């Protein structure tokens, strides 16, 4: 097998030791039960949704739980109608679905793609699981070895190892992209102007065991939780916290930091809907909507997926096949909220099959239903405002925070390239750009059209207005001269709002 180039973001020997401990915990795990509890009324439903046990689905007043023995007894004591759907011995399902791709096939498959399509494919591993499986990733874009000013979209499946339709959809999608490059103009263009990452199996141990979990942990309940583990963002100085989460989650977190995404989706099974942030806001009870600052964008993104997936759109349960995460049922420690709140990347949780493991003969039909949706969702990264943020003098890229007026959630530039991609619906927006050591810059009244992105490159000044390499009184004099209308060879509008006293004040502050 020849995987080139292969990059590992895993850890060393200490990491291996921790994994062995985690394995022994897993081996002693007790059985899990999937039970459906029907709440007799709305008050009982609210109690069920907020009881703190792991919920996997909700349809009206029927709530599906994943519980252990003790938790099952708790539920039974409520005396609500309770239906045992499945018993899972040792945390893994006994029944393997045949005809699906096995974990062992992924590495060789990606290797063959890397050999066959070297100009548009790079493959590697994000790290190793507790049972020493690789978390395979594939990157598809023109000249994948170069980091470029292109938006990044990531598709991740099987964070729950037993939800396997998403794995197959990701594999179909990869194959469709590769086979159509150079043939289908739309797909070729997409590959040229977008960086597409796919991680088909985020939880390989769970996938191999046909289990929701890894080492007894639900990975989608074990990301850092807003309000508990962090309250701002990585950019604002919060620690990443990757050492305190399950191994797989840490791998995903470091990957997102190293190769930041601008749009992401994670694929699940067990329901049919597009679920958008927030899954949780402290103080808002489960079953009530937790609305994010980008609710309009999220509803648009969710509809981009559902409108192109007819069974999802025609859902008899969820209008247009979309729902706010918390309105459905709240979860804490979910990947979607963490990615959006902590790193500013919009992410959706896509439930694409009512049955978690339908017969493999149905997979071509699932691909028919998801193909256009996967392309439409991915293409949505090309909307809103994009650009580069650089140092005005050196022209080097800056890691910057991009704020949109009236929206509390920032997005960030990539450190390597300095590009940002602020997904926004058509309208007029005021943006603010911040980087440590630089004067805050405002770009007002940027128009966003209904197709394509509006380009806005920004050059931040650190106060060295005359660009002589030092910040001193000469810079203050330079900005005063410019404000007085004297001809200058440099741009003294350091805050983006035209030459005025605010520029003079900003430069004085920077020089002091």
State the residues that interact with Zn ion by CB under 5 A: 160, 163, 268
Q: How far apart are the first and last CA of the chain?
A: 59
CB nearer to Zn ion: give 62 or 442.
Answer: 62
Alpha helices (H) along 286-402: 295-307, 310-313, 325-328, 335-343, 363-379
Of the listed 134, 168, 351, 369, which one is catalytic? 351
Six-digit token pair at 255? 């990957």
Give the angle 193-256-159 at the CA atoms, nearest 5°.
Answer: 105
CB nearer to Zn ion: give 357 or 421.
Answer: 357
β 134-140/195-199 pair status: antiparallel
Closest CA to 176 of 371, 36, 446, 12: 371
Six-digit token pair at 22? 């985690």
CB nearer to Zn ion: give 100 or 110.
Answer: 100
- How would you class 377 by CB atoms within 10 Å of its CB: exposed for 0-12, middle for 13-18, buried for 19 or more? buried
Closest CA to 376 of 277, 265, 454, 301: 301
CA pair distance 383, 86, nearest whole angstrom: 43
Asked about 351 being catalytic, the answer comes back as yes
Six-digit token pair at 390? 């650089």
Which residues touch 373 (CB under 8 Å, ≥6 apart)? 304, 305, 306, 307, 308, 309, 312
CA atoms within 13 A of residue 372's CA, in its CB half-sphere = 13
Q: Check residue 221 and report its DSSP letter.
A: G
CA atoms within 13 A of residue 481's CA, in its CB half-sphere = 14
């029907």: which residue's tokens? 38
């450190």: which residue's tokens? 415
CA pair distance 234, 257, nearest whole angstrom: 9
Alpha helices (H) along 40-199: 42-49, 69-77, 103-116, 165-180, 185-193
CA atoms within 13 A of residue 308's CA, in its CB half-sphere = 20
By annotation, the residues acting in catalysis are 351
């Amino acid at each position: 097998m020849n995987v080139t180039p292969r990059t590992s973001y895993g850890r060393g020997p200490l990491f291996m030791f921790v994994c062995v401990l985690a394995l022994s915990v897993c081996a002693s795990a007790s059985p899990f039960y999937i039970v459906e509890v029907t709440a007799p009324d709305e008050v009982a439903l609210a109690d069920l949704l907020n009881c703190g046990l792991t919920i996997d689905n909700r349809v009206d007043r029927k709530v599906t739980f994943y519980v252990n023995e003790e938790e099952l007894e708790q539920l039974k004591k409520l005396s609500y109608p309770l239906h045992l759907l499945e018993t899972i011995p040792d945390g893994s399902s006994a029944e393997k679905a045949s005809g699906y791709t096995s974990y062992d096939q992924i590495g060789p498959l990606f290797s063959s793609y890397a050999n066959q399509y070297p100009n548009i494919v790079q493959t590697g591993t994000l790290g190793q699981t507790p049972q020493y499986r690789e978390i395979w990733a594939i990157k598809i874009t023109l000249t994948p070895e170069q980091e470029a000013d292109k938006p990044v979209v990531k598709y991740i499946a099987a964070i729950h190892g037993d939800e396997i339709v998403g794995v197959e959809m990701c594999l179909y999608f990869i194959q469709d992209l590769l086979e159509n490059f150079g043939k289908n103009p739309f797909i070729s263009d997409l590959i040229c102007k977008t960086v597409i990452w796919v991680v088909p199996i985020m939880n390989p141990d769970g996938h191999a065991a046909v289990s929701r979990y890894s080492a007894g942990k639900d990975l989608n309940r074990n990301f850092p939780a807003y309000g508990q583990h962090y309250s701002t963002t990585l950019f604002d100085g919060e620690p990443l916290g990757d050492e305190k989460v399950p191994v797989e989650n840490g791998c995903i977190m470091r990957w997102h930091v190293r190769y930041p995404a601008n749009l992401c989706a994670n694929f699940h099974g067990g329901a049919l809907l597009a679920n958008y942030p927030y899954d949780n806001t402290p103080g808002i009870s489960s079953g009530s909507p937790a609305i994010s600052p980008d609710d309009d964008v999220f509803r648009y993104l969710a509809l981009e997926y559902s409108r192109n997936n007819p069974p999802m759109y025609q859902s008899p349960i969820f209008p247009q096949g979309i729902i706010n995460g918390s309105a459905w049922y709240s979860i804490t420690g979910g990947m979607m909220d963490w990615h959006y709140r902590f790193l500013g990347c919009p992410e959706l949780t896509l439930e694409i099959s009512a049955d978690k493991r339908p017969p493999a003969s149905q997979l071509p039909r699932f691909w028919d239903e998801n193909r256009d949706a996967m392309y439409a969702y991915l293409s949505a990264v090309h909307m809103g405002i994009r650009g580069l943020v650089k140092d005005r003098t050196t022209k080097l890229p800056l890691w910057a925070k991009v704020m949109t007026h009236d929206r509390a959630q920032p997005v960030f530039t990539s450190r390597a390239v300095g590009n940002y991609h602020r997904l926004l619906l058509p309208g007029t927006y005021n943006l603010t750009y911040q980087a440590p050591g630089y004067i805050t810059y405002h770009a007002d009244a940027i128009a966003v059209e209904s197709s394509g992105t509006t380009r806005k490159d920004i050059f931040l000044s650190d106060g060295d207005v005359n660009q002589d390499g030092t910040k001193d009184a000469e810079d203050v004099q330079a900005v005063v001269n410019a404000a007085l209308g004297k001809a200058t060879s440099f741009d003294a509008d350091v805050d983006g709002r035209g030459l005025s006293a605010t520029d003079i004040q900003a430069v004085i502050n920077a020089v002091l």
